[in-house]
């Protein structure tokens, strides 16, 4: 007589959930994976996809390709009934509601951009956190040029249309500004020789410097490089509101803009905000040293939605992926009756692209900037991409962009 395997329900196909499932042996659990996205998205290359340096399809991996052996439900979890031990969810395509029972639950639903309640952010600013966002930004940049190119526009209206504001001087904001600048310098200058020199990129940062998590010298390099390239960096500049044409700053100043990208802060997803009976700390689920949700033996949380340690580890792909690998091992040991060791995280460093074929590498025992760091940045991302087809596609995209330029069709 065969013994029923424990029912393991995993929520999320991001860095944490996907890397965990890729390493979990197939025969130990009866696994159900629930996520509204039927693909894994390699977010660190999203800023490059915004401008078409790499194509969107090169940085996604369909979940069913490598995880076809388990039950995958394309749906969003809505709530958990802890008494009955079921996840309530709704289908991603038609919204139909259903329940899935579990013995063990893994919550890896990530986070979403935080608007800090600032008026107008969700209405007027674009985000850089999903495939849809990347497609929208790319199309919007091209639309701004198409609009500014029409006859009869006043000079100051052209200037407004071609002002690209990026809010947030963290790695995402810096990389988005750098990629937009590359697009301007390398492609739009040829397509719009009169308009492109008038375009402005303005990076707004509330703190004293950009890239506050990086060493001071590297952040200084990024700021100097941006200024040299004509990207305006405004530090200690906090946004108070965003209107359809104007950003209002806390100091009372204003910035007329054509496109604004909001790239700052993480907020809990709707699902995490609605969870009852769990220890939620600053929007993240508190976990113990084995990634178990505090007070619950059979529920785990990892990645951006989990708060591990004091202060909590940062919300990065590196942390999420390491936690995913750790949990796969822990669940394997658990199924075989072995005790789990505590989770440990050793950072391997941070990278950021700053445009013009230059990058920063902030490593535990060294720091690096410029062209060499850019080659390192590209090699690291190429090796980190999860599948061989994605590695090949990204490499091909880079070669294609270098030889033939990026595609400027707007659709």
Ligand X SMILES: Cc1cc2nc3c(=O)[nH]c(=O)nc-3n(C[C@H](O)[C@H](O)[C@H](O)COP(=O)(O)OP(=O)(O)OC[C@H]3O[C@@H](n4cnc5c(N)ncnc54)[C@H](O)[C@@H]3O)c2cc1C
Q: Which among 391, 377, 399, 411 has a CA at the least distance from the CA of 58?
A: 391
Told to check if 173 binds ligand X by CB under 6 A, we report: no
Could you say whether residue 148 binds ligand X (CB under 6 A)?
A: no
Q: Is 240 in the site for ligand X (CB under 6 A)?
A: no
Rounded CA separation 58/52 (Å)? 11
User: x/- binding map, residues 295-314, to ligand X, per CB under 6 A?
Assistant: --------xxx---------
Out of 21, 32, 44, 169, point to the residue binding ligand X (CB under 6 A): 44
Instruction: Determine, following the binding rule CB under 6 A, whether residue 37 of this chain makes contact with ligand X.
Output: yes
Neighbours of 355 (CB within 10 A): 24
Q: Applying CB under 6 A, which of residues 8, 49, 54, 128 lies at the interface with ligand X?
A: 128
11/233 with CB nearer ligand X: 11
Rounded CA separation 153/141 (Å): 18
316 is a contact residue toward ligand X (CB under 6 A)? yes
- Does residue number 110 form part of the binding site for ligand X (CB under 6 A)? yes
Distance CA 311, CA 336 (A): 33
Cβ atoms of 272 and 263 closer than 8 Å: no
**52 to 48, 49, 139, 156, 388: CA distances (angstroms):** 6, 5, 10, 29, 20
Residue 105 binds ligand X, judged by CB under 6 A: no
Choose the stretch contacting ligand X; rule: CB under 6 A; options: 42-50, 154-162, 254-262, 325-333. Answer: 42-50
Q: Angle, to 10 degrees, between the axis of helix 171-183 and the axis of helix 131-148?
A: 40
315 binds ligand X (CB under 6 A): yes
**Are 86 and 80 a contacting pair, CB within 8 Å?**
yes
Binds ligand X by CB under 6 A, chosen from 318, 330, 369, 390: 318
13 contacts ligand X (rule: CB under 6 A): yes
Q: Of the candidates 46, 158, 211, 231, which one interacts with ligand X according to CB under 6 A?
A: 46
| Of the candidates 192, 115, 182, the residue with the CA atom closest to the CA atom of residue 354 | 182
Distance set, CA 20 to CA 34, 189, 320, 341, 387 (Å): 14, 44, 9, 16, 15
Q: Which stretch binds ligand X (CB under 6 A): 11-19, 95-103, 146-154, 292-300?
A: 11-19
Binders of ligand X among 320-379, rule CB under 6 A? Answer: 320
Q: Is 14 in the site for ligand X (CB under 6 A)?
A: yes
Burial of 176 (0-12, 13-18, 19+ CB in 10 A): buried
Q: Which alpha helices (DSSP H) does 162-269 contain, by range?
A: 171-183, 189-191, 216-229
Which residue number, 195 or 259, has a Cβ lying nearer to ligand X?
Answer: 259
Which window, 35-43, 202-210, 366-374, 402-410, contacts ligand X (CB under 6 A)?
Answer: 35-43
- 269 lies in the site for ligand X, by CB under 6 A: yes
285 touching ligand X, by CB under 6 A: no
Give yes or no for residue 100 binding ligand X (CB under 6 A): no
C-alpha distances in Å from residue 88, one per residue of 39, 82, 93, 102: 21, 11, 16, 11
Here the tokens at position 167 are 């809010």
Residue 4 tokens, joined: 């029923």
| By CB under 6 A, residue 390 contacts ligand X | no
State in angstroms the smallest separation of the CB of 88 from ligand X: 10
Nearer to ligand X, 202 or 305 (CB): 305
Measured CA to CA, the distance from residue 140 to residue 134 in angstroms comes to 10
List alpha helices for 86-188, DSSP H.
Answer: 121-124, 131-148, 155-161, 171-183
Q: Is 115 helix (H, G, I), strand (E, B) or coil?
A: coil
76 lies in the site for ligand X, by CB under 6 A? yes
Q: Which one, of 283, 298, 248, 261, lies nearest residue 80 by Cα? A: 298
Q: Which H/E stretch holds residue 106?
A: strand 104-107
Q: Does 77 bind ligand X (CB under 6 A)?
A: yes
In the complex with ligand X, the residue whose CB is nearer, 67 or 128, is 128
Nearest-approach distance from CB 47 to ligand X, in angstroms: 6
Percent helix, strand and coil across the chain, each rounded to 5?
35, 25, 35
Q: Whole-number minimum distance, CB 348 to ligand X, in Å?
A: 10
* Contact flag: residue 108 with ligand X (CB under 6 A): yes
Q: Which of 11, 231, 278, 360 is the binder for ligand X (CB under 6 A)?
A: 11
| Residue in 172, 237, 322, 330 binding ligand X, rule: CB under 6 A | 172
The CB-of-267 to ligand X minimum distance in angstroms stands at 12
Residue 341 beta carbon to ligand X: minimum distance, rounded to whole angstroms: 22
| Binding footprint of ligand X on the chain (CB under 6 A) | 11-17, 34-37, 43-44, 46-47, 76-77, 108-110, 128-129, 171-172, 269, 271, 303-305, 315-318, 320
């Amino acid at each position: 007589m065969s013994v029923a395997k424990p029912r393991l329900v995993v929520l999320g196909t991001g860095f944490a959930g996907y890397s965990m499932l890729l390493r979990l042996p197939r025969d130990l659990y009866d696994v159900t994976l629930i996520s509204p996205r039927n693909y894994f998205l390699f977010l660190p290359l999203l800023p490059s996809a915004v401008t078409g340096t790499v194509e969107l399809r090169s940085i996604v991996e369909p979940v069913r390709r490598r995880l076809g052996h388990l039950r995958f439900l394309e749906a969003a979890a809505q709530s958990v009934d802890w008494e009955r031990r079921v996840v309530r969810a709704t289908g991603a395509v038609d919204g139909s509601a259903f329940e899935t029972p579990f013995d063990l639950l893994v919550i890896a639903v990530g986070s979403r951009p935080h608007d800090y309640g600032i008026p107008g952010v969700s209405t007027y600013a674009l985000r850089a956190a999903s495939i849809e966002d990347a497609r929208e930004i790319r199309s919007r940049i091209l639309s701004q040029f198409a609009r500014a190119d029409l006859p009869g526009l006043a000079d100051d209206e052209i200037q407004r249309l071609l002002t690209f504001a990026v809010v947030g001087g963290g790695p995402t904001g810096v990389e988005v500004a750098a990629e937009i600048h590359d697009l301007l310098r390398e492609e739009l200058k040829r397509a719009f020789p009169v308009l492109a020199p008038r375009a402005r990129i303005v990076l707004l940062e509330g703190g004293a410097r950009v890239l506050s998590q990086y060493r001071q010298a590297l952040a200084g390099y990024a700021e100097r490089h941006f200024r040299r390239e004509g990207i305006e960096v405004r530090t200690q500049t906090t946004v108070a509101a965003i209107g359809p044409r104007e950003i209002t700053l806390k100091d009372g100043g204003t910035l007329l803009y054509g496109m604004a990208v909001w790239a700052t802060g993480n907020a809990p997803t709707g699902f995490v905000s609605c969870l009852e009976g769990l220890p939620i700390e600053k929007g993240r689920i508190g976990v113990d040293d084995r990634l178990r949700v505090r007070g619950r033996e059979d529920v785990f949380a990892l990645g951006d939605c989990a708060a591990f340690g004091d202060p909590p580890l940062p919300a990065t792909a590196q942390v999420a992926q390491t936690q995913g690998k750790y949990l796969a091992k822990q669940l394997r040991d658990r199924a075989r009756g072995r005790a789990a060791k505590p989770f440990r995280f050793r950072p391997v460093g941070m990278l950021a692209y700053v445009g013009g074929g230059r990058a920063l590498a902030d490593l535990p025992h060294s720091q690096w900037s410029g062209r060499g760091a850019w080659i390192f940045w590209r090699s690291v991302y190429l090796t980190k991409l999860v599948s061989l087809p994605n590695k090949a596609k990204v490499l091909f995209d880079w070669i294609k962009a270098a030889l033939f330029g990026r595609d400027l069709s707007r659709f």
